[in-house]
């Protein structure tokens, strides 16, 4: 047992030594985060843009992980914060809470841009894609925190920074189908396609399952006590998997009648 622990410690030391962040940068960011990384290599990796080092040496894998971990924590926060809201409304709030603009705002508050490693030749792209790079780095950072300190550490980072976004949130949009349609139209894609994929329950209280698909993207499903409600949940679920952009979360100033 002791030998195994020693080998693990040696491996970590070897990983971190040649490629870790210079200590001033690491210390500065760790101070802003309010936590000290046990494995500084994770922090370095979270801040390495794919334009600098592709594949396994960039922050893309951590971004993938951080996106899922953030989703879990925010979903739990929404579940507790809005106990009387339906699944469809929670899904719409979720889309707004994890959208790119929110991630960028959190990243800016942490001044991640000063630590994010971008390719030198991408100066113009840096300006154009600044929000996307910061949002991705924020997700990668969350992934790094999860690997370094577990879910408890992620909650300590996410909850205080996202709580105000949930507390200040206005009522969610009433029509996820319209939001999804606008998303597709803004990208010159065909209209979303809905189809019934299942039905369960007794005749007096059926439960429907609807699948929605947008060309070029994996479909999503939703359930509800009516086809209309199930379609709304499906649309909201699909929105959570798409590039959220400002168009997908635009507030509706009127309640459209559902199809």
Q: Lowest-pLDDT range, 50-59, 144-153, 190-199?
A: 50-59
- Compute the mean pLDDT over every residue in the chain, rounded to the nearest whole number: 78
Lowest mean pLDDT: which of 17-21, 189-193, 251-255? 251-255
- The more confident residue out of 44 and 15 is 44
Q: How confident is the model at residue 22 (pLDDT cuts 50, 70, 90)?
A: very low
φ/ψ (deg, to 5) at 22: -55, 140
Q: Which domains does the chain have, with CATH numbers?
A: 2-167 (1.10.1520.10), 176-248 (3.30.160.20)
State how far the alpha carbon of 53 is from the alpha carbons of 1, 47, 73, 111, 117, in Å: 36, 11, 29, 22, 9
Residues acting as catalytic residues: 67, 139
Taking alpha carbons only, the member of 192, 191, 227, 188 closest to residue 207 is 227
Residue 169: per-residue pLDDT: 65
Mean pLDDT on 212-217: 94
Which residues partner with 207 through β-bridges?
200
- E-assigned strands of the chain? 193-200, 207-213, 220-224
More confident residue, 196 or 239: 196
Render pLDDT for 71-99 as a digit per residue (tens, 0 to 9): 999 999 999 999 988 877 888 788 788 88
CA angle, residues 167, 172, 173, in degrees to nearest 5: 155
CB–CB of 196/184 below 8 Å? no
Average pLDDT on 114-142 reads 67
Q: Tokens 């300590």 sit at which residue?
A: 156
Residue-wise pLDDT tens digits, 30-49: 888 888 999 999 998 988 87
């Amino acid at each position: 047992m002791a030998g195994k622990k020693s080998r693990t410690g040696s491996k970590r030391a070897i990983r971190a030594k040649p490629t870790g962040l210079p200590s001033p940068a690491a210390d500065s960011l760790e101070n802003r985060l309010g936590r000290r990384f046990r494995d500084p290599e994770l922090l370095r990796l979270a801040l390495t843009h794919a334009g600098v080092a592709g594949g396994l040496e960039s922050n893309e894998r951590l971004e993938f992980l951080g996106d899922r971990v953030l989703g879990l924590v925010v979903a739990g926060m929404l579940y507790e914060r809005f106990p009387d809201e339906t699944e469809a409304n929670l899904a719409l709030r979720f889309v707004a809470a994890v959208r790119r603009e929110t991630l960028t705002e959190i990243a800016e508050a942490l001044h991640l841009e000063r630590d994010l490693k971008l390719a030198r030749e991408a100066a113009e792209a840096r300006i154009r894609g600044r929000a996307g790079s910061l949002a991705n780095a924020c997700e990668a950072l969350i992934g790094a925190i999860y690997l370094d300190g577990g879910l408890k550490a992620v909650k300590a980072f996410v909850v205080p920074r996202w709580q105000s976004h949930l507390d200040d949130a206005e009522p969610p949009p009433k029509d996820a189908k319209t939001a999804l349609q606008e998303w597709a139209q803004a990208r010159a894609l065909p209209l979303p396609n809905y189809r019934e994929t299942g039905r369960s329950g007794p005749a007096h209280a059926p439960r429907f399952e609807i699948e929605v698909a947008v060309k070029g993207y994996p479909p999503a499903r939703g359930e509800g006590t009516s086809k209309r409600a199930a379609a709304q949940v499906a649309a909201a679920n699909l929105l959570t998997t798409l590039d959220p952009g400002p168009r997908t979360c635009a507030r509706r100033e009127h309640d459209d009648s559902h199809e």
